[in-house]
A and B are shown apart, each in its own frame.
Chain A
Amino acid sequence: MQNIELLLPCHETWSLAPIVGSNNPFFTLCADTMTNTWIIVAFLIGVCIVANVILRYSTGFARYTIVRGVDFFVDLCEQNLEQFSFKHFCFVTTLFVFIFACNVCSIIPWLEEPTCDLNTTLALSIISFIYIQAQIIQFKGLRAYIGSYFKPIFLLLPLNIVGKLSSIMSIAFRLFGNIFGGALITKIYFSAISRWWFVQILCLALGVNMLITGFFILFEGALQAFVFTMIVLTYISLSLQSDGH
C-alpha cells in the first residue's frame, strides 16, 4: 500500500473549525492545493502586468506574440458565438489561461497541479455552470428558465435537474481524470527509473523523460484546458439561441 500517497494530493490540511465553529469536513482546506493555486494566481497577475507594459511601450516579437494569442481567442469566440461579445470573451479566455497554468505548473519543481484535486475542477465547473445559467436567465427571462425544467411535461422535472447537475460533474471529472491520470503516469515513471542511476542517465540522454513530460503534462494540459474552454463556449452559444425560431 505504499502507492497510496500517489493518489492523495493533500499532505497537509488547514481546518477552519476555530473560525466557523463546526467540525464538518467541508470546512477543511487542502493546504497544498491552496498554496499552489495562490502561487499560480500571483504568477498570472505578474504575467498580465508584464504584458500590459509590453503592449504599451514595445513593438517587437513579444508584442506580436501577445496580439496573436488574444486574436486566436477573439476568432474562437466569433466563430462559436456568431457575434463577438467582450463579456464571454473575457470569461472564456480567463478560464483557459488559468486552467492551462494549473495543468502545466508541475514542470516547475516543488509545484503540483491544483487540477489534480477534484475540488479545484469541481469549483471551476460550478463557476461555469452558474455563469451559463445566469446567461440563460438574462437572455430568456426567469419565467421561461424555470419553465424549461417542466418541458416537455412536468413529470420530467427530476430528470431535467439530474441532467443539469450531471453536466457539472462530467466537465469536472473529465478535467480531473485526464490531469490526474497524466500526473500519475509521470510519477510512476519517475519513481520506476529512480531506482538505478544508470537508467536515469540513459533515459535523460535518450530524451524519454522529455517525451513523457511533454506528452502527458504539456500536450495533455494544453489540450484539456482547450477542451474545457470549448465545452463552456458551446454551452454559452447554446444558451444564446432562442428555441423554436
Chain B
Amino acid sequence: MIAPTVCIHYFTIAATTFISASCASIGQALISKTASDAINKQPHAHADITRTSFIGNALVETTAILGLFIAAMLLLGTSSMNPENTYVYIAELGILFALCFSAATVGIVSGFPAQEACNSIARQPFFAQKILSFNIMTQALVQTPIIAAFLISFLIKNQMNDVASLGEALRLVASGLCIGLGSIGPAIGLARFAKTACRALGVNRELYSTLLPFTLVSQALIETPIIFALIVSLLILFTIPPLTDADTLRGIALLCAAFSTGIGTLGTGISSGMTASTACYEMSINPNAHAALARASMLGQVITETCVLYAVLISLALIFMF
C-alpha cells in the first residue's frame, strides 16, 4: 500500500521540474522564433542576432536549472523523512507553491527582452554590442523573482524536518505562497518594461546614455513589491514561535497574510511596469523631454507602490496581532 503522503512528495518533485522546464522552453522558443524573423529582415547581422539569441536562451535556462536543483535537493535530501508524519509533506507543498508560480511566470516572460533585442539589432546592426549588453543586464534583473523564490524554498527545506503540527505546516506553506504569488505581477511588469526598453534602443540609439540610468532605477522600483513579499515571507519563516496543535487557526491567519501580500503585489507590479514602459517608449520618440518623462514616471511608480504597502501592513497585522 502506497501512503498518500509519499505521492505528494513525488508530485512536488515532478511538478517543480516540469513547470520550470516547460515554461522556460516556451520562453526560449519565443526568442529563437524572433531571432529567425530578425535574421530574415537583416541577413547581414546574422552573427550578432544569433549571439544575442544564444545568450538570451542561456539566461532563460537559469529558471529550469534552479527548478532542477530544488527537485534534486528534495529527491536526495529527504530520504530520512518519516512517511507517517503527514505534516512534513504538507509543508513541502510550500516549496511547490514558491517555485511553480514564479518559475512559470519568469520562464515565459524573461524571453521578452531578448526578443526585442534581436529585432533592435536587425534595425541597428552597427549598435549590436551595446544592445546585447543592455539586454543581458535587463534580462538578469527580470530574474530577481526566481532568485527570491529559490532562497525561500531553500529556507523552507531547512525548517521542514522539524514540523510537528498542522499549524507549523501551514506556516511554511504560507511562506512559500507569499513569495510565489508575489513574484507573478512584478515579473510581468519587469519583463514588459525591459521589452520596451530594448525596443526603444532600436528606435533611437542616441538614447543609450540617458536610458541606462532610467532603466536601472525603474527596474529597481518595479521589483520593490517582490522585496516586500520577501520580507513578509521571511517574517513568517523566522519570527513566529513554534505553533502547537491548538494553534491551527494562527496558521490559517498566516495563510491569509500570505494571500494579502501576494495578490496585493499583482496589480502594482504590472501597472508599475506599464507606467515605466510607456515613459520609455515616449523617450525614444521625444528624447528632448527625457528628464520630465523620467520624473513623471518615477513619481507615478512611487505612488503606485504605496498601495502594496497597505496590503503589507494588513499582513503584518495578521502575523503579529492575531
Contact = CB atoms under 8 A, between A and B. Distances in A.
Interface of A: 1, 3-4, 7, 79-80, 163, 166-167, 169-170, 173-174, 176-178, 180-181, 184-185, 188, 223-224, 226-227, 230-231, 234, 237-238
B221 to A, nearest CB: 7
Interface in B198-224: 213, 216-217, 220-221, 224
A188 B230 contact: no
Interface of B: 147-148, 151, 154-155, 158-159, 162, 213, 216-217, 220-221, 224, 227-228, 230-231, 234, 238-239, 291, 295, 298-299, 302, 305-306, 308-310, 312-313
B309 A170 contact: yes
Contacts of A188: 151, 154
18 contacts: A3-B158, A4-B238, A7-B239, A80-B291, A80-B295, A166-B306, A166-B310, A170-B224, A170-B308, A174-B305, A177-B230, A178-B227, A181-B148, A181-B227, A185-B151, A223-B216, A223-B220, A226-B217
A234 B309 contact: no
Instruction: Provide the main secondary structure of the chain B interface.
Output: helix
Given A167-B302, A167-B306, A226-B216, 11 more contacts: A3-B158, A3-B238, A80-B291, A170-B302, A170-B305, A181-B148, A181-B151, A181-B230, A188-B154, A227-B220, A230-B298
Nearest to B150: A185
7 residue pairs, one from A and one from B, having the closest CB atoms: A177-B227, A79-B291, A227-B220, A166-B309, A177-B231, A166-B306, A174-B224
Contacts of B231: 173, 176-177, 180
A236 to B, nearest CB: 11
B227 A234 contact: no
Contacts of A224: 220
Contacts of B148: 181
Contact of B306 (A163, A181, A184, A230): A163
Contacts of B154: 188
B50 to A, nearest CB: 25
Given A174-B224, A231-B302, A169 B309 contact: yes
A7 B234 contact: yes
A224 B158 CA distance: 30
A238 B220 contact: no
B238 A174 contact: no
Contacts of B159: 1, 3
A76 to B, nearest CB: 9
B306 A231 contact: no
Nearest to A7: B238
A112 B238 CA distance: 20
Contacts of B227: 173-174, 177-178, 181
A184 B238 contact: no
A184 B152 CA distance: 11
B255 to A, nearest CB: 21
A79 B227 CA distance: 29
A79 B299 CA distance: 15
A223 B216 CA distance: 7
Contact of A234 (B213, B302, B308): B302
A3 B157 CA distance: 12
Contacts of B306: 163, 166-167, 170
B156 to A, nearest CB: 11
B151 A184 contact: yes
Contacts of A178: 220, 227
Contacts of B313: 166
A1 B312 CA distance: 25
Given A79-B291, A173-B231, A181-B227, A230 B151 contact: no
B147 A185 contact: yes
Nearest to A228: B220
Contacts of B221: 227
A118 to B, nearest CB: 9
Contacts of A166: 306, 309-310, 313
Nearest to B305: A170
A180 B228 CA distance: 11
Nearest to B213: A226
A40 to B, nearest CB: 22
A196 B298 CA distance: 46
A177 B234 CA distance: 10
Contact of A173 (B216, B220, B239, B309): B309
Contact of B299 (A180, A181, A226, A234): A234
